[in-house]
Structure 1
């Protein structure tokens, strides 16, 4: 980098650092200057900005509000990608008897992995189990170009919020589905956008024909290993999905989770073995885009159904 360019980049970084540490309004940040510099600097400048803002030692010790950090990161991501994800979610960890109204760390982690590995989803049909607020799926729909995306959950309030978040992000939502493959889509749909459906899916009562109708190429789930009963239900669903493929190629499956209770994680891998489902740890991604706790131990398992 030429000396004058280095000075200009330093001033830009300093401007972002001062405004972020002061929690200034996002409109006051020099976004236009950033876009101009990104044409020449690429992703290195973004990483430098992350170090000066959300990963600044003061912010690590005294973090800003989650809402402010997420809004900032959404705007930052939008500059190189031309897109962003907007979410409405609960401010309470548990609300109306469910944890699905907020975004959990493994959902952020899986979204980052997907953005770095878009080929795993491009032109494919994706079924997400336990979509919650929908951040992971929205990121995949916008950044990885799937053919179709099926959000699913069982709680009615979660599904209501999920539909709202899908529409909030400019995606066309088709009729609710228990068998989305039967819905050909609207003629007015933007062909560059995936076919998006929402399915109410209770893992304990869903039938094999209902699961077979989804015909997924990829199955994902994030932060769903929170108790033994849920683990057992999830493995039953995965085993059923594996058995109902018939002559179709078995789907890829990626399960992301935060290791809170090692015994629960061991139960998951043990039950996978009993169900005849092999697995391997997915390679870790390089870039951190979202403000989850760095000391959280997270992992993504790729399952061979």
Structure 2
């Protein structure tokens, strides 16, 4: 195989690997490129390599995606093979048979590969809305903010980070593994989300401070391990949390992703940001970065209007170069930097 063909095959394998591990939409996979490759004599070998990088990947064997997702993926893979080859590939049918006999669970796993060679694995709900909340799944803006953080690690290095609306925990886990924060406070208001957050932190080999699940506690200085951030999971209701409670965290930087989904939430968010503006640390209020998917321009306009009313200046952060997590196509995303 020519060097350029080898490089193309490796790129295709990485594409399938990243998308499958993260359980991205099946229509987002490069199926057309795969079909072209399968017409080569080495097509069967390529399919077996894809199988090893997806369904048979060690991360998936230990922490599998939903059964329905794996079944759909293998069915599509078999369809592509049958379209160009007469001889069946036994390994594909054996893998599908294993999936068809597996039991579906309400929780599944998504894994995201990091540039360091490490990964972040999340336990998520198989339903978009579960237990009355959307916080049990990872949304695109969380991926987008995590990519930006990897490209801008100095924004978080040796600083205390407070995340509002952490959801499943993707952004925070990436920052903790890649950006060397001193302390990280995951927060949400829904008890089921907080339970899942704690589980995902432990799932990724990180440790929580003993008893660090109160409404507001001082993260303090990390004396346990200078290489590991001090982690907390805090229950924060934006409508009732007070400025002194927020100040107790002593955040250097505040982040949030995909929290601009209705007018009521936007008003609550701006309220808590306004209270955070009073959290002076060394005579300097924390920086804030809010990432969101532009679903409705009116919603985004309401957010910036309310920021103006609260006297919070903002600027749009330039798009970053990192494209690590295969966000769904056609999704326009943005990050605003707020000067609290």
Q: Give me the whole-angstrom Cα distance separating, in 2, the residues matched to 1:24 and 1:82.
A: 17
TM-score (norm 1): 0.78
1:1-305 superposed matches below 5 A: 9=7, 12-13=10-11, 18-19=46-47, 23-24=51-52, 26=54, 70-71=110-111, 73-74=112-113, 77=114, 80-174=115-209, 175-181=212-218, 189-245=224-280, 247-305=282-340
- Asked if 2 retains the 8 angstrom alpha-carbon contact of 1:70 and 1:290, the reply is no
Change (3 A) 1:15 1:257: closer
Q: Give me the whole-angstrom Cα distance separating, in 2, the residues matched to 1:242 and 1:141.
A: 24
Q: Deviations over 1:49-74 (max 9, x none)?
A: xxxxxxxxx99xx9xxxx99954x52
Residue 21 of structure 1: CA displacement?
Answer: 9.2
Q: Give me the whole-angstrom Cα distance separating, in 1, the residues matched to 2:174 and 2:281.
A: 30
Change (3 A) 1:234 1:15: closer
Q: Deviations over 1:117-142 (max 9, x none)?
A: 11110110000000000000000000
- Asked if 2 retains the 8 angstrom alpha-carbon contact of 1:69 and 1:291, the reply is no
Q: Deviations over 1:26-84 (max 9, x none)?
A: 4867xxxxxxxxxxxxxxxxxxxxxxxxxxxx99xx9xxxx99954x52xx3xx40311
- Asked if 2 retains the 8 angstrom alpha-carbon contact of 1:70 and 1:291, the reply is no
Q: Deviations over 1:76-129 (max 9, x none)?
A: x3xx40311010010111001100000001001100111111111011000000
- What RMSD in Å do the two structures reach over aligned CA positions? 2.8
Give ranges in structure 2 of 5+ residues lacking alignment: 15-33, 35-45, 58-75, 81-106
SS in 2 for 1:284: coil
TM-score (norm 2): 0.70
Change (3 A) 1:117 1:183: closer
Q: Give me the whole-angstrom Cα distance separating, in 2, the residues matched to 1:197 and 1:69.
A: 22
